[in-house]
């Protein structure tokens, strides 16, 4: 890191101040779990192995279509973003990968970028394409769509961009491309619903054909926004149908904020797993729509239920099951580093809670039609405070027992504020 970084000394002293309390809490929880036949050491090791990718666009302050209120010391460019991602991983030990977005993360030397990231212990997860905004000097506008546009020249430009993303991703060591398109319509009659989807499939087939042998493409659906009457890839049914038609390298990506209100997301996850088509996640939370709030902040039980399906699949060795875990959030009122630290912890929490579900007990209750008994098996896991396991996992992996407190004690943001003078018009990507 060129500028300020959180020193090993500070990390050690912050951890030392919390160590004895953690040892006590960990021992007490280990005894309680042992009574349930759960080995806390195994659980801790599983948590240590869990990782989620940071979206590079998430380390800048987000915004809404009304305003963006930039925070001090925001990353000015890609290499600042890497520093912030490295800091999150240093403290959490749960975010070893990055998910970049192009052209937001365009740079002249991707091999160098990969090296800098590797120097921080970071690697690259899925690359995201962007055909939902026009870029300066772009030949054709995406105002009326991209991969499903009525004009073949616009589609060709959008296809070429996705293929460029694959080329960049190869240099970064990534193995997947995530495609989300904003295509849709705002008026009944504006678009031929069938033909628009046909055009999308044809375009996707060209992108699919450009995938290296060991790559996957993740199809990300979204119900609405920016199109408000119809969206071409609006739901998991459309996404699944497209993935099935394209072939084995195409899988579906579930962004938790992209569904109809009250839809049963964990059941969608179960369905996609059933067909070997669950590619990955964009984790976030929401109350109304694509709110992009912090994962686990509004509906932690739903997050747990999603992980419950994932562990169920893992344990039974479901086919083609290797979901990519990525965050996709917009931090409008918090320090993005703090939000991302806490979100990674919330995912680990849901993961650990799902791991301690008594699966045999649950199966017995389900077979006996004991509805409440089955529910209580899940509740018993969900209401277990696994925080000492998570903290111990971080400590053993070289991270912070209390990441946010340690981050605040370091004054990282204050240091970065003097190192990163504001640049007029700086955008962190999504606003
Ligand atoms: C669309 C979306 C998609 C984009 C990201 C910035 O709402 O979830 O994943 O790439 O936001
Ligand atoms: Mn998303
Ligand atoms: Mn979204």
Q: Is the CB of 259 under 6 A from ligand 1?
A: no
> Using CA atoms, how far apart are residues 341 and 349, in angstroms rounded to an integer?
12
Q: Is the CB of 292 under 6 A from ligand 1?
A: no
- pLDDT score of 23 more than 70: yes
Position 428 scores a pLDDT of 42
Question: Whose Cα sits closest to atom 6 in ligand 1?
Answer: 430
DSSP per residue over 191-249, as a string? Answer: S-HHHHHHHHHHHHHHHHHTS-TT-EEEEEP-SSSS-SSEETT-SHHHHHHHHHHH-TT
SS (H, E, C) 128-153: ECCCCCCCCCCCCCCCCCCCCCCCHH
Residue 19 Cα to ligand 2 middle (Å): 37
Residue 285 Cα to ligand 2 middle (Å): 11
* CB atoms inside a 10 Å sphere around CB 322: 11
> Using CA atoms, how far apart are residues 35 and 58, in angstroms rounded to an integer?
41
Position 422 scores a pLDDT of 72
> Using CA atoms, how far apart are residues 260 and 253, in angstroms rounded to an integer?
15
Using a pLDDT cut of 70, give the percent of the chain over it: 98
Residue found under tokens 């060209």 = 206
CATH topology of domain 57-90+97-358: TIM Barrel (3.20.20)
Position 424 scores a pLDDT of 55
Q: For residue range 379-406, what is the model confidence (pLDDT) as tens digits?
A: 999 999 999 999 999 999 999 999 999 9
Domain ranges of the chain: 57-90+97-358
Q: Is the CB of 328 under 6 A from ligand 1?
A: yes
Residue 427 Cα to ligand 3 middle (Å): 18
Q: For residue range 267-276, what is the model confidence (pLDDT) as tens digits?
A: 999 999 999 9
In a mutational test of the pocket of ligand 1, which residue from 55, 57, 62, 220 has the highest number of ligand atoms less than 8 Å from its CB? Answer: 220
Mean pLDDT rounded to a whole number for the chain: 96
The residues facing 124 across adjacent strands are 98
Q: Is the ipTM of this complex over 0.95?
A: yes
What pLDDT band is residue 423 in, cutting at 50, 70 and 90?
low
Residue 281 Cα to ligand 2 middle (Å): 8
In a mutational test of the pocket of ligand 1, which residue from 225, 328, 429, 431 has the highest number of ligand atoms less than 8 Å from its CB? Answer: 328
> Using CA atoms, how far apart are residues 150 and 154, in angstroms rounded to an integer?
8
């Amino acid at each position: 890191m060129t500028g300020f970084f959180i020193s090993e000394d500070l990390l050690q002293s912050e951890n030392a101040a919390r160590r004895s309390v953690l040892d006590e809490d960990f021992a007490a929880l280990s005894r309680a779990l042992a009574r349930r036949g759960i080995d806390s050491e195994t659980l801790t090791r599983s948590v240590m192995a869990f990782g989620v990718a940071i979206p590079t666009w998430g380390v800048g302050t987000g915004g809404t279509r009304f305003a963006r209120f930039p925070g001090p010391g925001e990353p000015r460019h890609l290499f600042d973003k890497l520093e912030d991602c490295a800091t999150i991983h240093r403290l959490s030990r749960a975010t070893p990968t990055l998910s970049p977005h192009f052209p937001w993360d365009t740079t002249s030397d991707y091999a160098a970028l990969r090296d800098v990231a590797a120097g921080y212990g970071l690697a690259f997860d899925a690359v995201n394409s962007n055909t939902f905004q026009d870029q300066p000097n772009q030949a054709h506008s995406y105002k009326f769509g991209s991969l499903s546009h009525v004009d073949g020249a616009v589609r060709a430009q959008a296809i070429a961009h996705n293929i460029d993303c694959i080329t960049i991703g190869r240099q970064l060591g990534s193995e997947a491309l995530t495609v989300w398109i904003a295509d849709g319509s705002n008026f009944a009659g504006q678009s031929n619903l069938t033909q628009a989807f046909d055009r999308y499939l044809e375009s996707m087939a060209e992108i699919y054909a450009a995938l290296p042998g060991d790559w996957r493409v993740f199809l990300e659906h979204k119900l609405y926004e920016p199109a408000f009457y119809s969206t071409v890839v609006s739901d998991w049914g459309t996404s699944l149908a497209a993935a099935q038609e394209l072939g084995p390298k195409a899988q579906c990506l579930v962004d938790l904020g992209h569904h109809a209100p009250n839809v049963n997301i964990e059941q969608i996850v179960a369905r996609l797993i059933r067909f070997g088509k669950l590619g990955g996640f964009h984790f976030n939370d929401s109350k109304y729509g694509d709110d992009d709030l912090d994962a686990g902040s509004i509906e932690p039980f739903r997050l747990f239920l999603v992980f419950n399906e994932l562990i169920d699949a893992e344990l039974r060795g479901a086919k083609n099951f290797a979901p990519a875990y990525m965050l996709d959030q917009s931090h409008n009122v918090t320090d993005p580093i703090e939000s991302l630290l806490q979100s990674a912890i919330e995912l680990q929490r849901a993961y650990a809670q799902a791991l301690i579900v008594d699966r045999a007990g649950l199966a017995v209750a389900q077979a006996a039609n004991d509805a409440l008994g089955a529910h209580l098996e899940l509740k018993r896991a969900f209401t277990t405070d696994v925080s000492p396991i998570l903290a111990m996992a971080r400590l053993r992996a070289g991270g912070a027992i209390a990441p946010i407190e340690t981050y605040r004690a370091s004054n990282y943001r204050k240091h970065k504020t003097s190192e990163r003078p504001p640049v007029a018009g700086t955008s962190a990507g999504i606003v």
